[in-house]
Amino acid sequence: MSRTPLKTSIATVCLAGDLREKLAAISAAGFDGIEIFEQDFIAFEHGAREVARMAADQGLEITLFQPFRDFEGLPEPLRARAFDRAERKFDLMERMGCDLVLICSSVHPESLGGIDRMADDFAELGERAAARGLRVGFEALAWGRHVNDHRDAWEVVRRADHPAVGLIVDSFHTLGRGIDPDTIRRIPGDRIFFVQLADAPKIDMDLLYWSRHFRCMPGEGDLDVTGFMRAVAATGYKGPLSLEVFNDQFRGGSPRTIAVDGRRSLLHLMDQVARLEPEIAIAPPPMPPRIHARGVGFVEFAADEREAESLGALLRAMGFRREGRHVSKAVDLWRQGEARVVVNTDRDGFAGASHIAHGLNVCDLGLAVDDAQATVERARALGAATFAQAVGPGELDIPAIRGVGGGVLHFIDRSSGLAKVWETEFRPVEDDAPATPAGLTGVDHVAQTMNYEEMLTWSLFYLSLFEVEKQPMVDVVDPGGLVRSQAIEAEDGALRLTLNGAETHRTFAGRFIADSFGSSVQHVAFASTDLLATAEALAQNGFAPLPMPDNYYEDLAARFALDDAYVARLRAANILYDQDAGGRFLQLYSRPFGDGIFFEIVERQGAYAGYGGPNAPFRVAAQARLMGPPGLPRDARSPMDDQTGTRKGGRP
């Protein structure tokens, strides 16, 4: 079966800015076409021919003009007036160089309905459109007065029986009403003139309000857009796939960022559909399948010499051993179990620039994957920016891309020499002050902090690149406001990430973003198989945990049926506790350092599925107390040396 190359489009209503800014952003993101939303055109200072010229200059086809409202089923004289309005829009379309208009099902209070009446209206309109070389597409609005189901809209189109009249289907209008998308499979693909796509979080609210404020890109919400598109693809449809997303955040966001997200969502969607529906008529760009990540291979800090010394003392107190020095750079490797922390004080290269921009920060994450090169290839196909810097003596050229907050993601696989990076790039060293190992086995998860409006961007980034799924959003109550947290994890738990979106800089997470000038990784959680034993080893090493109030443990004893002696042990070690139907979860935190970075150590017992969400408000309050009020000078905050108890002048 021959395939037609995927043609991507997006409605101008999806983006912020004026029409000129929108076209530039859409073109830069790599789209093939645009839907001109009527309101955007009316607000523009130039006419239709100038819009056509601007689109052509940007290499964009105008795929659709929309919307034309309240057309079908009207009594006279309203019916005649509707046809007059349509003729005026046809004039406009001719000047604009667009041959297809979207007519959404009527909500007019005087609309009479009736399938045959509406079909007659469309048959006549089809004749008028065809005389001009134009087409009309009928779409069922989910809140339409008489037609609110694509099956009814199709019946109108079928009975109109005119080659210039076709169906337009929209994933939100079908899925938002809970209509089975497989019913689309029975519609001939050549009678579907256009496909619009949008996702949305599942919210029980008025359909119109939900649609106008909460739509998002495919893959960012909870609707089965993949199932919808599989059904459309099965019809043999070969036309454009276009985004129509109404979202309050997007209207205030960067048009270039939103456009890049939109195209990434379409490419990821069609890649998934092509793997599930191999006979589809549309051919998405070839790319490797989603990547299986085997976990976090390393966490790299950019630091100056003083910060590196203090960070090394903290790592040693946590049971890490300094076991390697880079062959050509000022970079140290610390290790415990499979947990590796790299501390980079080199003034040149990316880490040096990252330190200038953010201060002490996690500048790089290394992920273990099945195929490093395939990971970069898929990322590139999805519009991610690749990363490269000069390879020094004794260094390997490790594939990498740009990640959250300007950071870097490096990829290490088992099938090439990249797996030997530690033996190749680092010389063994004898730790001059080895501490007692604390039983840390690896990295459980990495938490990335960002402004709330960035969360959809980065969740889509990870979901489209890796074999991971998102978990339900959790609200974390901070003394300074609300933080939204969403976990993204692989089915086998090898890769776990939490994305934390701050809505205000008054929160602990928001202060971290502001003080670190947009650094992303706020904390790294290491895994232990026996956290109580780990806590004992940490105490021997002089580690100072985040102090938790007695009130927490009194409440803990009331919430869970725990032995008093067990609660006393948790209290003595400042360990937090949670449980669900699958098992238990224990957490222990370092004190915050730098601009609010911290470490966590966790123990998962049984099939516990979460991240200790119920404990987050108490943890955040304890951290905020140590950090002091917003605006406190960095020098006056809890010193990093307090992490090990080696300095007595800091806050208790």
pLDDT tens per residue across span 157-198: 999 999 999 999 999 999 999 999 999 999 999 999 999 999
Mean pLDDT of 403-409: 91
CA 27, chain centre distance (Å):
22
| R_g over Cα of the chain | 29
pTM greater than 0.85 (yes/no)? yes
State yes or no: pLDDT of 125 exceeds 50.
yes
State yes or no: pLDDT of 651 exceeds 60.
no
Annotation-wise, does 87 bind a ligand? no
Annotation-wise, does 244 bind a ligand? yes
Counting residues of the chain whose pLDDT is more than 90, the rounded percentage is 88
Annotation-wise, does 355 bind a ligand? no
Query: Among 53-62, 384-393, 453-462, 623-632, which is the least confidently predicted range?
Result: 623-632
CA–CA gap between residue 64 and residue 430 (Å, rounded): 68
In the chain, where the domains are located? 4-281, 293-643
- Average pLDDT taken over every residue of the chain: 93
State yes or no: pLDDT of 643 exceeds 90.
no
Q: Helix (H, G, I), strand (E, B), or coil: what is residue 502?
A: strand
Sorting pLDDT into bands at 50, 70 and 90, what band is 647? very low
Annotation-wise, does 170 bind a ligand? yes
Closest by Cα among 535, 574, 532, 534 to 552: 574
Annotation-wise, does 505 bind a ligand? no
Task: Report whether 591 contacts 523 (CB < 8 A).
Answer: no
pLDDT in tens, 27-46: 999 999 999 999 999 999 99
Instruction: Return contacts of 110-114, CB within 8 angstroms, 24+ apart.
Output: 110/74, 110/75, 110/78, 111/70, 111/72, 111/73, 111/74, 111/145, 111/146, 112/73, 112/74, 112/75, 113/73, 113/145, 113/146, 113/147, 114/73, 114/146
Mean pLDDT of 453-477: 94
Mean pLDDT of 106-110: 97
Counting residues of the chain whose pLDDT is more than 70, the rounded percentage is 96
Q: Helix (H, G, I), strand (E, B), or coil: what is residue 264?
A: helix
CATH number of 4-281: 3.20.20.150
Mean pLDDT of 505-524: 93
State yes or no: pLDDT of 652 exceeds 80.
no
Q: Helix (H, G, I), strand (E, B), or coil: what is residue 428?
A: strand
Mean pLDDT of 151-157: 98
CA–CA gap between residue 636 and residue 258 (Å, rounded): 39
Mean pLDDT of 533-542: 97
State yes or no: pLDDT of 645 exceeds 70.
no
Annotation-wise, does 94 bind a ligand? no
Mean pLDDT of 636-646: 57
Does the 293-643 domain belong in CATH 3.10.110.10?
A: no
Angle between helices 455-465 and 255-276 (to 10 degrees): 30
pLDDT for position 637 = 54
Sorting pLDDT into bands at 50, 70 and 90, what band is 640? low
State yes or no: pLDDT of 633 exceeds 60.
no
pLDDT for position 631 = 60
pLDDT for position 428 = 94
CA–CA gap between residue 637 and residue 626 (Å, rounded): 7
How distant, in Å, are the alpha carbons of 293, 300, 362, 460 from that of 466?
7, 21, 21, 10
Q: Helix (H, G, I), strand (E, B), or coil: what is residue 340?
A: strand
State yes or no: pLDDT of 338 exceeds 90.
yes
Query: Among 77-91, 147-161, 247-261, 574-588, which is the least confidently predicted range?
Result: 247-261
pLDDT for position 64 = 98
Task: Report whether 171 contacts 211 (CB < 8 A).
Answer: no
| Residue 58 DSSP code | T
Q: Helix (H, G, I), strand (E, B), or coil: what is residue 281?
A: coil
Annotation-wise, does 139 bind a ligand? yes
Within a 10 A sphere around the Cβ of 133, how many other Cβ atoms? 11
Sorting pLDDT into bands at 50, 70 and 90, what band is 417? confident
